[in-house]
Structure 1
Amino acid sequence: MTAEPGLTVTHRRYVPHAHAHYGGSLVDGAYSLGLFGDVATELCVRADGDEGLFAGYSDVEFLAPLRAGDVVEATATLTRVGTRSRGVRFEARVVCRAAPERGPSAADVLDPPIVITRATGTVVVPAAQ
């Protein structure tokens, strides 16, 4: 396995109503960060054959709300390859959103998706053997 900048991994997940913590069915911003941890893990496995460890974020932007009933997509892209560290760019987008005004199970596909969170961070993997 060779870690190469540009490698991208994407996960999608339905956001259950149990995760709404605030009025208007809003979900806390940490939910996106949890998704980023999951997608970074797969990125490390694909790039280095190891789950790696998340070292930290250098930048996080919360751009729009995440709501219960959304389908959210989280993407991690490898941007930098060091000896043991890897730079990663993250983006979370809402690709489907509930439309309760039309009915209890109504929803819409969003085209274009709504970018809700962007971040950059660093993961660390074991030294190559």
Structure 2
Amino acid sequence: MTEPVPAHTPPSPATRPATVGMGVTHARYVPYSHAHYAGDLVDGAYSLALFGDVATELCIRTDGDEGLFASYSDVQFLAPVRAGDCLEVSATLVRVGSRSREMDFSVRVVARGDTSRGVSAAEVLDPPLLATTARGTVVVPPAG
């Protein structure tokens, strides 16, 4: 028999307090099912969804809560993201308010397919290709 789940579970304590400069990075392979355009291009919304993922982890680590994305103040699509790319997606805290967290985001392509060498050939990009950047604000519950 399972025990009932309480109606409200308080958030777990944060791993560490929110400090400017803290960050998280995720690695992600872009599946071919996400290609929407010719040349296996992926839409820009894919990068924005990944920004939500890294923002969520950063809020969990700093505030013990997933937070809620409030806004973007700047988004730049600098280079294409393609199906088959290996990405590094990062969020870094640039401002900490009482309930808001402002973050800088980036998507870097660290490896990409190279079909000129064969259908499954790929190469590591050195340096990585900066594909997307943004600044966004996340809101967390009041401390207490």
Q: How does 1:86-105 map to 2 (within 5 A)?
A: 86-105=101-120
- Where in structure 1 do 4 or more consecutive aligned residues deviate above 3 Å? none
Radius of gyration: which is bigger? Answer: 2
Q: In structure 2, what is the equivalent of residue 15 of structure 1?
A: 30
Higher strand proportion: 1
Q: In structure 2, what is the equivalent of residue 44 of structure 1?
A: 59
Q: How does 1:114-125 map to 2 (within 5 A)?
A: 114-125=129-140
Q: Choose the corresponding residue for 2:44, options 29, 38, 43.
A: 29
- The SS at the match of 1:92 is strand
- The SS at the match of 1:46 is helix
Aligned residues: 129
- Give the Cα–Cα distance (whole angstroms) in 2 for the partners of residues 64 and 2 of structure 1: 34
- The SS at the match of 1:117 is strand
Q: Which runs of 5+ in 2 are unaligned?
A: 1-15
Q: Which runs of 5+ in 1 are unaligned?
A: none
- Give the Cα–Cα distance (whole angstroms) in 1 for the partners of residues 110 and 86 of structure 2: 6
Deviations 1:2-50 (A, max 9, x none): 1101101000110011111000111101110000000000000011111
- Give the Cα–Cα distance (whole angstroms) in 1 for the partners of residues 137 and 33 of structure 2: 30
Q: Choose the corresponding residue for 1:59, options 60, 71, 74.
A: 74
Question: Percent identity over the alignment?
Answer: 67
Superposed displacement of residue 104, structure 1: 1.4
- Give the Cα–Cα distance (whole angstroms) in 1 for the partners of residues 117 and 34 of structure 2: 22
**TM-score, normalised with respect to structure 1:** 0.98
Superposed displacement of residue 93, structure 1: 0.4
| 1:70 equivalent in alignment to 2:85 | yes
- The SS at the match of 2:115 is coil
- Give the Cα–Cα distance (whole angstroms) in 1 for the partners of residues 17 and 37 of structure 2: 43
